[in-house]
Amino acid sequence: MASAAVVEKTFNVGNLTLERLCEKRVITAVNGELPGPIIRVREGDTVIVHVINQSPYNVTIHWHGVFQLQSAWADGPEYITQCPIVPGNNYTYKFNVTKQEGTLFWHAHFSWLRATLYGAFIILPKNGYSLPYAKPYKDVPILLGEWFNGNVIDIIDEAIASGGAPNISDAFTINGQPGDLYSCSKNQTYTLTVKAGKTYLLRIINAALNNELFFKIAGHNLTVVGIDASYTEPYHTDVIVIAPGQTVDAQLTANQSSGRYYMAAHAYDSGGPGLAYDNTTTTGIIQYEEANTSSVPEMPVLPAFNDTATAHRFYTNLTSLKGGRHWIHTPKQCDTQMFVTEGLGLLPCDDTNATCEGPNGNRFAASLNNASFELPSTLSILQAYYYNVSGIYTADFPDQPPVEFDYTDTNLSLSVPLAFTSKVTRVKQLKYNETVQMVLQNTAFVTTENHPVHLHGMNFFVVAQGFGNYDSNTDGNNFNLVNPQQRNTIAVPVGGWAVIRFQANNPGVWFMHCHLDTHFSWGFATAFVVENGPIASSILPPPPSDLPQC
């Protein structure tokens, strides 16, 4: 059996000029590519990525879903595990890929740069180990993205300054291409040529900034075999629903008449009427080898934008491959119980001489247990924890909301004072190997919405999901503790809740936040500080010598 390899890459981050939607735009990209480079590794490999920042912006890179066991300094979120790489500087990320197989991705974790700074991160089994399903003829990354005609840094900066909502995107993309339904985009359509009778593994990644997506291929069914680099029981479906931060491995068999078929994606808009969203559709083409390339592709019928029933059916029908490689038992008992309200809210306009552009002249905000997270700016939380520096954060994130109320009552929309929150940097400290059960309860302030919540550094088990207010007396009887899906990002149902369990088996500081970047920018986040364990392999090592400084 071959020994583990070292996979070494260089990421040059800089400006790239592209023509999209009839306009030339300057974006930030890695190595002049959109999407960025694909990283393929085998489990057990060591990854070394030299990031050279030649862009005009601060940057960090997050290896989304990679556990980062004993390498928390390489996780990447700005001011959580590192200070940003400033223009003209560089930083080398080094980590081992352990106990994971499947599809993940990497992306920028500074401001909104991940709109164009992203790429696939594919983990193959160790040499000598086979997949738990038939080997595909070919595996194909399908990265779903979001395109803005404006400068994304300016868009979010202007929104934060005004207190209002940022501009929505102008298009969605498949592998960086908008597809031929958009203006000036006929030659900017991703095409996958397939051989009749062969099975392809589509590694579908939602790298969009602010939208969950429905994805469908005309005339073809798909079989889901993995999510978030965790194997699943095969799940047959004609539609994929995928939130930002999530990945889906789906088998596609080219078993239809020779021809051309659109793959298409558009938004799943759970936010209800009055909430602006991008209602456009991106397309790619599945083209059989013998097909007439001038024929018009068949178009799939995508679910309605607000089809919550289809989204919920997909999200809740997935289960883990019990007994599969890297499968682990769900904790039956938990040391810590948390009930965390999540959603939008308000802050007073901080300029007494002006009116902010949020509801009723206030400022949009978002929070967890009414704590709206504020990033530090002088030191990362991981550095502050490691060096015992005070004044950067407080370890008092609450296990319960400050007030109990009817969380999903839509009459709450702008209820005062419940809708108001405050800016803080509060984290939750956990002992090594502590087990946690967390109820994530959506609220109805401003709007009800499905929120994709991402946890860094660890996977969790999704033991239950539902609508309305969580009731431990009844909902607690319906937990799946046998083969729940394992994820790093959970789409918490609109006007509903999800219950997750995880084991804090990774020393360091691990961010948890909404993967809709507008909400993250408004404060929908917290972090877990996991203490060192008793043996060398459970102790956080010192920072690398080139760790960026603030």
How is the chain split into domains, by residue range? Answer: 1-128, 130-324, 336-538
Terminus-to-terminus CA distance in the chain, angstroms? 44
User: Does residue 508 carry a pLDDT above 80?
Assistant: yes
Query: What percent of the chain is modeled with pLDDT above 90?
Result: 93
Confidence class of residue 1 from pLDDT cuts 50, 70 and 90?
very low
DSSP conformation letters of 119-175: EEEEEEPPTT---SSPPPSEEEEEEEEEE-SS-HHHHHHHHHHHTSPPPPPSEEEET
How high is the pLDDT of residue 353? 66
Give the predicted TM-score (pTM) of the model: 0.97
d(C-alpha 299, C-alpha 317), whole Å: 26
Write the pLDDT tens digit of every residue in 97-152.
999 999 999 999 999 999 999 999 999 999 999 999 999 999 999 999 999 999 99
User: Does residue 535 carry a pLDDT above 70?
Assistant: yes
How high is the pLDDT of residue 61? 99
Confidence class of residue 357 from pLDDT cuts 50, 70 and 90?
very high
- Enumerate long-range contacts of 404-409, CB under 8 Å, 24 or more apart: 406/469, 407/341, 407/441, 407/442, 407/443, 407/444, 407/469, 408/442, 408/443, 408/444, 408/448, 408/467, 408/468, 408/469, 408/495, 408/496, 409/444
Amino acid at 67: F
User: Does residue 274 carry a pLDDT above 90?
Assistant: no
Q: Which two tokens stand for residue 41?
A: 């590794």
Q: Is the peptide bond before 300 cis (omega within 30 degrees of 0)?
A: no
The dotted CATH code for 1-128 is: 2.60.40.420
Amino acid at 277: Y
How high is the pLDDT of residue 273? 72
d(C-alpha 208, C-alpha 245), whole Å: 8
Query: What percent of the chain is modeled with pLDDT above 70?
Result: 99
What's the rounded mean pLDDT across residues 82-97?
98
The verdict on domain 336-538 having CATH code 2.60.40.420 is: yes
| Domains 130-324 and 336-538 fall in the same CATH topology | yes
User: Does residue 319 carry a pLDDT above 50?
Assistant: yes
Q: Residue 261: helix, strand or coil by DSSP? A: strand
What's the rounded mean pLDDT across residues 372-385?
98
How high is the pLDDT of residue 271? 87
Amino acid at 483: N
User: Does residue 2 carry a pLDDT above 70?
Assistant: no
477 Cβ partners below 8 Å, 6+ apart? none
For 338, 394, 544, the CA distances from 397, given in Å and listed in that order, are: 10, 8, 29
- Residue 300 DSSP one-character state: P
What's the rounded mean pLDDT across residues 384-407?
97
The dotted CATH code for 130-324 is: 2.60.40.420
Poorest-pLDDT segment among 60-74, 78-92, 183-197, 350-364: 350-364
Cβ atoms of 344 and 514 closer than 8 Å: no
Write the pLDDT tens digit of every residue in 418-470.
899 999 999 999 999 999 999 999 999 999 999 999 999 999 999 999 999 99
